[in-house]
Amino acid sequence: MDQILKISKKYKIHVVEDACMGIGAKIKNKSPGTFGIVNAFSMHPLKSLNVMGDGGMVITNNDEYASWMLKYRNHGMIDRDNIEFWGVNMRLQPLQAIVASLGLDKLDHVLNKRRVNAKQLDSALSTLIEAGHLKLPRRVETHNETCALYMGLFTRRDKLKDYLRTKGIETKIHYPKPLHLQHAAQENCKFDPREMVNSEHQARHLLTLPVHQFLGKNEINYIADQIFSFYEENLAE
């Protein structure tokens, strides 16, 4: 964000944040979604603050933008009988707002538990990093993560995923097909595919492990043990 904000200031470009996974996180004691002029949050069930189904919110510190968004989300209406411009129906249902409000009360507990689980998994899998089978994101001391997703780059990723499924451990791949290989991107974006080697490498190796707040120490240890078992069995082949 420091680099982005420097560029923004230099060239007088507004910053718009996709802070969808950032509710409750901190970057040097500043919350994601408070750096830009317009910022989006998701309350999808996968996120640290979720509603019953799907939802989200947009925030801004610009009064003019706020006024426009309040109308745009409600068909562009000024009041019940007058429409200023064509808008959409993107009002969050009152029930969903209540669920999100209650979720805010326990957000710190949820995030702390996820961080504890992620830290335990980091420690348990450290020898795999040394052995060259795993690469984890850099953990920055001044950043307080939500741990909405626990991602790592694993060797033999697809076989590991299948193996863990037989052991009752659900994992996900976020995402198996990088954006530049999507049909929509190929139709509308200009890029050199040869410069997308990192994206393709991650798509081949990235695996998301569970660290959600409903897992305890025993479950986290079980996940780590099964990952070790997989590599021991495959290295013995």
What would the two tokens of residue 135 be? Answer: 């690469």
What would the two tokens of residue 152 be? Answer: 């790592």
Which helix (H) or strand (E) element contains residue 186? helix 183-188
Axis-axis angle for helices 107-124, 94-105 (nearest 10): 60
Confidence band for 237, pLDDT divided at 50, 70 and 90: low
Distance CA 19, CA 31 (A): 9
This prediction's pTM = 0.87
Write out pLDDT tens, residues 6-20. Answer: 999 999 999 999 999
108-235 has the same fold as 2-105: no
Cβ neighbours for 8, distance < 8 A, ≥ 6 positions apart: 14, 15
**CA neighbor of 104 nearest in space, from 58, 47, 37:** 47
Looking at residue 138, what DSSP letter applies? P
As a 3-state breakdown, the chain gives helix, strand, coil percent values, each rounded to 5, of 45, 15, 40
Distance CA 14, CA 33 (A): 13
Cβ neighbours for 176, distance < 8 A, ≥ 6 positions apart: 203
Residue of higher predicted confidence among 149 and 190: 149
**CATH entry 3.40.50.300 includes domain 108-235:** no
The one-letter amino acid at 58: V
Q: Is the pLDDT of residue 59 over 60?
A: yes
Q: Is the pLDDT of residue 48 over 90?
A: no
Write out pLDDT tens, residues 83-125. Answer: 999 999 998 999 999 999 999 999 999 999 999 999 999 999 9
The one-letter amino acid at 4: I
| Residue 48 and residue 111 in contact, taking contact as beta carbons nearer than 8 Å | yes
The one-letter amino acid at 169: I
Domain residue limits, the chain: 2-105, 108-235
Write out pLDDT tens, residues 158-215. Answer: 999 999 999 999 999 999 999 888 888 887 788 787 889 999 999 999 999 999 999 9
Q: Is the pLDDT of residue 38 over 70?
A: yes
Architecture of the domain defined by 2-105: 3-Layer(aba) Sandwich (3.40)
Q: Is 54 helix (H, G, I), strand (E, B) or coil?
A: coil
